[in-house]
Amino acid sequence: ALRRVSSPSASSHLLRRSYCVESKPERKVAVLGAAGGIGQPLALLMKLNPLVSSLSLYDIAGTPGVAADVSHINTRSQVAGYMGDDQLGQALEGADLVIIPAGVPRKPGMTRDDLFNINAGIVKSLCTAIAKYCPNALVNMISNPVNSTVPIAAEVFKKAGTYDEKKLFGVTTLDVVRAKTFYAGKAKVPVAEANVPVVGGHAGITILPLFSQATPKSNNLSDEDIVALTKRTQDGGTEVVEAKAGKGSATLSMAYAGAVFADACLKGLNGVPDVVECSFVQSTIVPDLPYFASKVKLGKNGVEEVLGLGPLSDYEKQGLESLKHELKASIEKGIKFATQS
């Protein structure tokens, strides 16, 4: 609610500021896995976001320290740390947005699917709690393999009777962040202006960057350049896993990407018009693939519109054909796990 400014002598500057600050609605954001490699810098970045009024940090261990640390930053949100199963309900109660970077990351030589056995169970139990304690929250799924954990979450919510396809998002923003960086470097365009849609899924060849739609347009990229940019975007995660040599996967760039996507979701909830980000969501744009990443318009209820793919180059059409089999199998694996266990 807007606070009435009673003093007529308040300067117009103060008046404006007061309206600006106070017209932001209360928003509770919960981070599950907040003490992890992604969770900690993500907690920091969400603490810097003025759209957040309450920041809830949950993990199975270590959250009191992370919460105490982050809470000293002089920004809007109130921070609370929660630890262990019996505090999960409190952590989630009243959340508008739940971000999930809980679970094990890759080591060199592993695919995202190798994480399935551990992370599927973690995601299932966290989503069961979300259905119970904050069934209306938007959910941003970071835990890998995203191509399977999003379908798992959907099935858990369906079983609980709380599923709303507009509110479940697989976070693929890091693929977009990488595509923008690599494209800008190669095409020699300003990186801050670069835009590249990335569609499909979030693993290996299912990551399909659409450089034919990249802006600002560049005429100095050869077909070989496009192939190399595509591969680098698809293997970006592996590049980091190998460089970290057993100490985990992307955490800092992922936290940045997660914060960008969460901010877009909050803007959508707050009614900011024309908020568009790529995300892995329930979709009908590619037959036989019930979940698919593409540009999504975000609004007051989450997904407002799943946008189409736009015109694809022949190379991208081929890429789309080749990803279908793997993506379908990963989706089905998630559904099977959630419905049979």
**Catalytic residue numbers?**
202
Q: Which residue in the block uniquely carries the two structure tokens 């960008």?
A: 260
Residues 116-145 that bind ligand NAI (CB under 6 A): 119, 122, 125-126, 142-144
Q: Rule CB under 6 A: choose which of 30, 37, 198, 298 binds ligand NAI.
A: 37
The alpha carbon of residue 101 and the mean position of all alpha carbons in its chain are separated, in whole angstroms, by 9
3-state secondary structure at position 208:
strand
What DSSP character marks residue 195?
Answer: B
Q: Buried b / exposed e across 219-228, counting CB within 10 Å, b at 16+?
A: eebeeeebee
Residue among 44 and 104 whose Cβ is closer to ligand NAI: 104
The alpha carbon of residue 191 and the mean position of all alpha carbons in its chain are separated, in whole angstroms, by 21
Residue among 148 and 283 whose Cβ is closer to ligand NAI: 148
Question: Which spans in the chain are helix H?
Answer: 12-22, 39-47, 63-71, 88-92, 116-133, 146-160, 173-187, 223-234, 236-244, 252-269, 314-340
Residues 272-311 that bind ligand NAI (CB under 6 A): none
Q: Is 205 in the site for ligand NAI (CB under 6 A)?
A: no
Q: Is 35 in the site for ligand NAI (CB under 6 A)?
A: yes
Residue among 213 and 251 whose Cβ is closer to ligand NAI: 251
Q: How many residues sit close enough to ligand NAI to count as binding (CB under 6 A)? A: 34
Q: Is 249 in the site for ligand NAI (CB under 6 A)?
A: yes
User: Contact, 230 vs 199, CB < 8 A?
Assistant: no
Q: Is 338 in the site for ligand NAI (CB under 6 A)?
A: no
Q: Residue 331 is which amino acid?
A: I
Give the nearest residue (CB) to ligand NAI.
36
Residue among 60 and 221 whose Cβ is closer to ligand NAI: 60
Q: How far is the CB of 251 from ligand NAI (least distance, A)?
A: 5
The alpha carbon of residue 180 and the mean position of all alpha carbons in its chain are separated, in whole angstroms, by 16
Q: Is 233 in the site for ligand NAI (CB under 6 A)?
A: no
Task: Write out the residues near ligand NAI by the rule CB under 6 A.
Answer: 32-33, 35-39, 58-61, 101-106, 115, 119, 122, 125-126, 142-144, 146, 171, 174, 202, 248-251, 254
